[in-house]
Chain A
């Protein structure tokens, strides 16, 4: 196994081990923290396909995180209040079933990513960065000014949604659910990275002309990557909303977009487990430093600056060296 593989296994072990310990030590709060880490990791795993493999610097990915969250919020709140979402032309009721909610969250995020991507990917470089940021803001402002679902104050969901066979209110059970989804997502991303699509997408990041000269269109590759990326981040959003039993426009803010990117960078951009390690470190910092000082963001900023200037590969890059090429 390569060094990177060992690091990945270790990361999973920590992510699973800490809540198990917390279960035995009866510290449910730590389980919740671990769940937060797993969900953030999932959001990062989504973005990493577009950012790390595809080279698309999307500064508006919180849009998908939030859309997933609001999908959950809207469906659940309607189910809660027994009100119909729509009567005509289709009868749409609310639901509190997680699998359905996840499906809706992913599909709506994917559609949003399709729309935003189709427009934004016609540009490149700085334009793309600014445009994704702007679209993210647009959705943020929309959510704030749409009063039906709480506007600026957000929306509370009183009871956690249901998953067949589990009691989702028990922290450990919900954690295991999120952890399982994270593992599935990682398996998916691993497969994509090694697939023909992954090869082409990565080549498009490195040299667009080359991809054109072998008869492929970078635009299509990137759009597909962007849509998949949006869908996965959207799923994370739905889970996040479920964890907190609360959705608010903050999930759509540029700060959130920035944070997702930060997880990835800390862990190592383009590395499969980059978001996982990065999210864990972020939660750790948030919990420990945040407890010490309310200005802990300064340290986060300094850390980020240090990584960008001196340790571009993040934690995995520093520990495992250059990425091993495929065999």
Chain B
């Protein structure tokens, strides 16, 4: 269950950036998974070089934000006025370039990022359950980021501009807000969140080329469920997906074991579990084609 929360929180980090970019700029960005990967690789490289986990995390934020800003300035900028197909293709091309580029720089074998020794052990929670400290800290960090995002969107000037931009792009330009800078900022912010998520997860799973895309696709599911453009939707959607997936994988084989023989139960159960979140997505779509909190 806690794993589900952790998974959900990590998905939120991915989805928040994606949904913001879509909400404010109207751009669908497939390369978001690559930014996740870049963050993870940067963290692994820095951790290997300096041994400091904190530095590694900072490196991941910086590297991803930088990469994000860079591609925004050179390529993404040209895509805002294009139709979605063009955006999909161009960002897909970026995935290819980034993935192969990373493979060229770091080779095909996965890198490893170690959990900082301070957080390596288990923590005893109320109720007597033991849970890895590291995963717990991810949950905490994720929740802090979520709070931070709410604060940013709802309480700061930048946040107001972002929300206005979502509602009416031409209007805020007319009001004199520097759109170009705002867009670059939003894009880089989303990238940084993705990179950060990548680094955090890199310590639990390995760091390898192609790690970003499955997460990206899950982030899409989250956004579809939560509604494009809504941070709240991303949060709720992410937790929903994270928990459903984890619990599903755990519970479904057990449920099937009640009336099927063990090996069949495991195979049917796990096959169904892997489809569960998509079924959830389909279900949400039937009733709310714009997602739970969609701003249309």
Contacts and interface: CB of A to CB of B under 8 A. Distances in A.
Physical contact A–B (CB less than 8 Å): yes
Interface of A: 51, 57, 59, 119-120, 122-123, 125-127, 129-131, 133-135, 137-138, 141-142, 144-148, 254, 258, 261-262, 265, 269, 295-298, 300-302, 304-305, 307-309, 312
Closest CB pairs A-B (n = 5): A301-B96, A138-B278, A304-B93, A141-B274, A301-B97
Interface in B60-102: 75, 78, 82, 84-86, 88-90, 92-97, 99-101
A127 to B, nearest CB: 6
6 contacts: A126-B22, A129-B88, A135-B282, A261-B89, A298-B100, A301-B100
A130 B217 CA distance: 8
Contacts of B217: 133-134, 137, 254
- Tell me what chain B mostly uses at the interface: helix, strand, loop, or mixed: helix
Contacts of A130: 28, 220-221, 223-224
B267 A146 contact: yes
B274 A119 contact: no
Contacts of A57: 84-85, 88
Contact of A305 (B75, B100, B282, B286): B75
B270 interface: yes
Given A59-B88, A130-B223, A261-B89, A146 B78 contact: no
A119 B285 contact: yes
Nearest to B97: A301
Given A123-B290, A138-B278, A145-B271, 18 more contacts: A57-B88, A119-B286, A120-B285, A122-B289, A126-B228, A129-B28, A130-B224, A134-B281, A135-B282, A137-B214, A137-B217, A146-B267, A146-B271, A254-B213, A269-B85, A295-B100, A295-B104, A297-B96
Contacts of A137: 214, 217, 278
A304 B100 contact: no
A138 to B, nearest CB: 4
B86 A304 contact: no
Nearest to A306: B93
A301 B101 CA distance: 11
Nearest to A298: B100
A12 B178 CA distance: 52
Contacts of B100: 295-298, 301
A171 B98 CA distance: 37
Contact of A141 (B93, B223, B275): B275
Nearest to A312: B86
B103 interface: yes
B278 A308 contact: no
A71 B40 CA distance: 39
Given A119-B285, A131-B285, A300-B96, A265 B89 contact: yes
Interface centre among B217, B221, B290 (most CB of A within 10 A): B217
B123 to A, nearest CB: 32
Contact of A301 (B94, B220, B289): B94
B103 A305 contact: no
Contacts of B28: 126, 129-130
B175 to A, nearest CB: 26
Contacts of A144: 274
Interface centre among B96, B223, B224, B270 (most CB of A within 10 A): B96
A307 to B, nearest CB: 8
Nearest to A137: B217
A258 B94 CA distance: 12
A195 B217 CA distance: 37
A301 B93 contact: yes
A305 B84 contact: no
A301 B95 contact: yes
Contacts of B89: 261-262, 265, 304, 307-308
Interface centre among B84, B92, B267 (most CB of A within 10 A): B92
B224 A131 contact: yes
A134 B220 contact: yes
Contacts of B96: 297-298, 300-301, 304
Contact of A142 (B213, B275, B282, B291): B275
B283 to A, nearest CB: 10
A167 to B, nearest CB: 38
Given A57-B85, A254-B217, A304 B92 contact: yes
A223 B282 CA distance: 17
